[in-house]
Chain A
Amino acid sequence: MTDPDTGTAVERIFREEYGRLIASLVRRFGDIDVAEEAAGEALLVALEKWPETGVPPNPGGWLTTTAVRRAIDRLRREKVREGKHEAAAMIHDDSPHEPTGVIADDRLRLVFTCCHPALAPETRIALTLRLLGGLTVAEIAAAFLVQETTMAQRITRAKSKIKGANIPYRVPGPEDLPARVGAVLAVLLLIFNEGYLSAADGEPVRTELTGEAIRLARTLHELMPEDLEATGLLALLLLTESRRAARVREGVLVPLDEQDRGGWDRTLIAEGHGLVRQCLAANRPGRYQILAAVNAVHTDAPTAAATDWSQVVALYDQLARIDSSPIVALNRAVAVAELDGPEVALAIVERLPLEGYHAWHVTRAELLRRLGRSAESREAYDAALGVCDNTAERAYLTRRRGELVS
């Protein structure tokens, strides 16, 4: 009989240790399928034994040792059955003994494999959540609103590409590292954003995704503390997450200037501000560091009116110099409206080619409303609602539209 409490504890530990376990098994056996099967078997053994013996002092080490034994047993059996030498080669751990510093962490190798540029972006997200986050295929499928079989196929295909095309398990060399880290950070931000402004019908915020993105960003930052963009991304996620509780009220999105700032998470804000200060001290700004700094300005203001908008505009100016995308220009325009008035901002917004982007319509609607152009504002809210999927944001836009008198 399995004690349900111990069973839950085992599953929680397993989930926490999964990324490390899989990464170490992949390095040892050079094969993701072997690693996943062995990890699954180790979980079954733990579920059977731990309720009797108690959770061992080093559960991660216990799981790894057990999984390695199971994998070797399995490979030996297959070797005997097939009479092939191949399996013997896999049992032999011939990976060079590198210093055990953080950079040698197996998870770091695996995250670069999962976020490899030869894999499609949606595949990178799925693989990262599966192998490093330990989410089940069913959980990932539910988070991205696809059939479980579709997601299972996507992950299986990715694993066979990694194997067949020989995508390495390796931290890229210095010349490739910045671009490859960028790909990893982009995946983590996409996971977070999917959770924070979910397109799903149900929950407006999917905390399992935001939480997982933060956990992975934290791990990446621990593994590469000298990478300022990784620091910046973690700060960005923490400062965004800090406002989560105040961001949706009774199913309706609450915009930044109307949020109850007493409901913001001060612990996350303090941590985020500390990271932003590290970035500022290093003075090698990048995209995520700048976005984190913008969020630091907002979370630093005791009231919406006290926001240092000139600082926000200056940061977006800096970002626009390295990223000429119209979305950056749109965010900059929102800050310009606070500094130079809605008319100046609207002139900027009207020039941006973002008709398919709901935030563009929302920004136009708000600016037109402030300029007293109610009929045009209403049309802009209608257009925004036409391209917005998030339930809380839809509720907010509907409310705002309803407040227009004419």
Chain B
Amino acid sequence: MTQYLLTVHGSEEENAAVPESEWPELFAAVEAFNQKLQADGVWVFAGGLEGAETATVVDGQGDEPVFTDGPYLETKEHIGGFWILDVPDLDAALAYAASGSKACRGKVEVRPFQAEPPTDA
């Protein structure tokens, strides 16, 4: 089994393109998708994020941590939410990502987590 991070990417404009009247429908679709993930036993974690303007970048490498207001990447597109799934392989992850993309009406990036380092157990 491999764990995958599925991130939803989009810009403010893209998010605004969904009229408020359709939000309940969108939330219901995402909720139904989340329930399917749990029923299939592949769910690890998921969540939607507040807007990128609420982000703070922290650099703790120096003597004193430096805090910077705003997101790390200066782009229009930001991560709006994510899922972490535990599935047999990339084909399974891509199939879930396609359903998730349809439900949340956004593009989804699929990225594997590094395999856990072997232990000497």
Chain A: residues with CB nearer than 8 A to chain B?
Answer: 83-86, 116-118, 164-168, 170, 172, 176
Closest partner residue, chain A, to B112 (CB atom): A165
Closest partner residue, chain B, to A84 (CB atom): B118
Closest partner residue, chain A, to B111 (CB atom): A165
The one of A83, A84, A166, A176 that contacts B89, using a Cβ cutoff of 8 Å: A166
Q: Which residues of B contact A170 (CB under 8 A)?
A: 89, 91
Asked if B89 and A168 sit within 8 Å, CB to CB, the answer is yes
* B99 sits at the interface (CB 8 A): no
Known pairs A85-B120, A167-B89, A170-B89; list 11 more (Cβ under 8 Å): A84-B118, A85-B118, A165-B2, A165-B90, A165-B111, A166-B89, A166-B90, A167-B91, A168-B91, A172-B91, A176-B91
Q: Which residues of A contact B89 (CB under 8 A)?
A: 166-168, 170
CB distance from A240 to the nearest CB of B (A): 33
Q: Which residues of A contact B90 (CB under 8 A)?
A: 116, 118, 165-168
Asked if A83 and B112 sit within 8 Å, CB to CB, the answer is no
From 72 to 121 in chain B, residues with beta carbon under 8 angstroms from any chain A beta carbon are 88-91, 94, 110-112, 114, 118, 120
CA A50 to CA B88, docked complex, whole Å: 42
Chain B: residues with CB nearer than 8 A to chain A?
Answer: 2, 88-91, 94, 110-112, 114, 118, 120
Closest partner residue, chain B, to A180 (CB atom): B91
Q: Which residues of A contact B112 (CB under 8 A)?
A: 164-166
Asked if B118 and A168 sit within 8 Å, CB to CB, the answer is no
CA A86 to CA B116, docked complex, whole Å: 11
Closest partner residue, chain B, to A175 (CB atom): B95
CA A167 to CA B89, docked complex, whole Å: 6
CB distance from B83 to the nearest CB of A (A): 16
Q: Looking at A84, A85, A166, A172, which has the most chain B CB atoms within 10 Å of its CB?
A: A166
Q: Which residues of B contact A83 (CB under 8 A)?
A: 120
Q: Which residues of A contact B120 (CB under 8 A)?
A: 83-85
Closest partner residue, chain A, to B114 (CB atom): A164
Q: Which residues of B contact A84 (CB under 8 A)?
A: 118, 120
CB distance from B90 to the nearest CB of A (A): 5
At the interface, is chain B mostly helix, strand, loop or mixed? mixed
CB distance from B111 to the nearest CB of A (A): 8
Asked if B88 and A168 sit within 8 Å, CB to CB, the answer is yes
CB distance from A30 to the nearest CB of B (A): 11
Closest partner residue, chain B, to A173 (CB atom): B91
CB distance from B109 to the nearest CB of A (A): 12
CA A167 to CA B4, docked complex, whole Å: 12
CB distance from B4 to the nearest CB of A (A): 8
CB distance from A63 to the nearest CB of B (A): 29
Q: Which residues of B contact A167 (CB under 8 A)?
A: 89-91
Q: Which residues of B contact A165 (CB under 8 A)?
A: 2, 90, 110-112
CA A216 to CA B74, docked complex, whole Å: 47
CB distance from A127 to the nearest CB of B (A): 15
CB distance from A79 to the nearest CB of B (A): 11
What are 25 A-B contacts with C-beta separation under 8 Å?
A83-B120, A84-B118, A84-B120, A85-B118, A86-B118, A117-B94, A118-B90, A118-B94, A164-B112, A165-B90, A165-B110, A165-B111, A165-B112, A166-B2, A166-B88, A166-B89, A166-B112, A167-B89, A167-B90, A167-B91, A168-B88, A168-B89, A168-B90, A168-B91, A176-B91
CB distance from A155 to the nearest CB of B (A): 18
Q: Which residues of B contact A116 (CB under 8 A)?
A: 90
Q: Which residues of B contact A117 (CB under 8 A)?
A: 94
CB distance from A253 to the nearest CB of B (A): 42
CA A83 to CA B111, docked complex, whole Å: 30
Q: Which residues of B contact A176 (CB under 8 A)?
A: 91
Q: Which 5 A-B pairs have the closest CB atoms?
A: A168-B89, A166-B2, A165-B112, A86-B118, A166-B89
Closest partner residue, chain B, to A162 (CB atom): B90
CB distance from A383 to the nearest CB of B (A): 38
CA A68 to CA B89, docked complex, whole Å: 25
Closest partner residue, chain B, to A117 (CB atom): B94
Closest partner residue, chain A, to B2 (CB atom): A166
CA A43 to CA B76, docked complex, whole Å: 53
CA A332 to CA B88, docked complex, whole Å: 46
CB distance from B99 to the nearest CB of A (A): 13
Q: Which residues of A contact B2 (CB under 8 A)?
A: 165-166
CA A117 to CA B90, docked complex, whole Å: 11
CA A168 to CA B112, docked complex, whole Å: 13
CA A170 to CA B88, docked complex, whole Å: 12
CA A176 to CA B94, docked complex, whole Å: 12
CB distance from A117 to the nearest CB of B (A): 8
Q: Which residues of A contact B111 (CB under 8 A)?
A: 165
CA A85 to CA B119, docked complex, whole Å: 8
Q: Which residues of A contact B94 (CB under 8 A)?
A: 117-118
Q: Which residues of A contact B88 (CB under 8 A)?
A: 166, 168
CB distance from B119 to the nearest CB of A (A): 8
